[in-house]
Structure 1
């Protein structure tokens, strides 16, 4: 029984680590791009944003890229560079 519990705990930890967010460097909020302006830039690049949020020190979007693939992308809010992305085919 103890072995079964240990395996379950390890599986739960591994799955939560797999879905961990990105690490963006902490920067003063006054240096961040405005959310609305950043979303407009992404839309101009062909992204369809279904959900936009602040995740830790990153901007995060859920939606589709210009190829129509589902995406989850974390961006540095100052530079606008993607720091982590997951794309579903």
Structure 2
């Protein structure tokens, strides 16, 4: 019974953290990532604009901004290729 209780407590503690975790974008080391300036240029070429936040999030580059259609966007990019890994468009 103690093992079950301990498992439930661990699940209750870890589940919320997993819910906020971003995607896994690459397993490459950071020396293989494109520079932030190069990624910002690629993001602009893809039509994202009014970027409020550009940051490293785990193994991804992440932005908060707007699409070319002026829709709110949260987007995770593979930092090696620049490909979109996950996006939430409102």
TM-score (norm: length of structure 1): 0.75
Q: Distance in 2 between matches of 1:60 and 1:53?
A: 5
Matched with 1:37 is 38
Q: Which moved more, 1:44-53 or 1:68-77?
A: 44-53
Matched with 2:89 is 87
Matched with 1:66 is 68
Q: Give the match's secondary structure for 1:42.
A: helix
Q: CA deviation at 1:62?
A: 0.3
Structure 1 stretches of 4+ moved >2 Å: none
Matched with 1:7 is none
Structure 2: give runs of 5+ residues left out of the alignment: 1-11
TM-score (norm: length of structure 2): 0.74
Q: Distance in 2 between matches of 1:24 and 1:77?
A: 7
Matched with 2:25 is 24
Structure 1: give runs of 5+ residues left out of the alignment: 1-9
Checking the alignment, whether the CA contact within 8 Å between 2:61 and 2:78 is kept in structure 1 is yes
Cα distance per residue 1:22-44 (max 9 Å; x no partner): 11232111110110111012112
Q: Give the match's secondary structure for 2:40.
A: helix
Q: CA deviation at 1:54?
A: 0.1
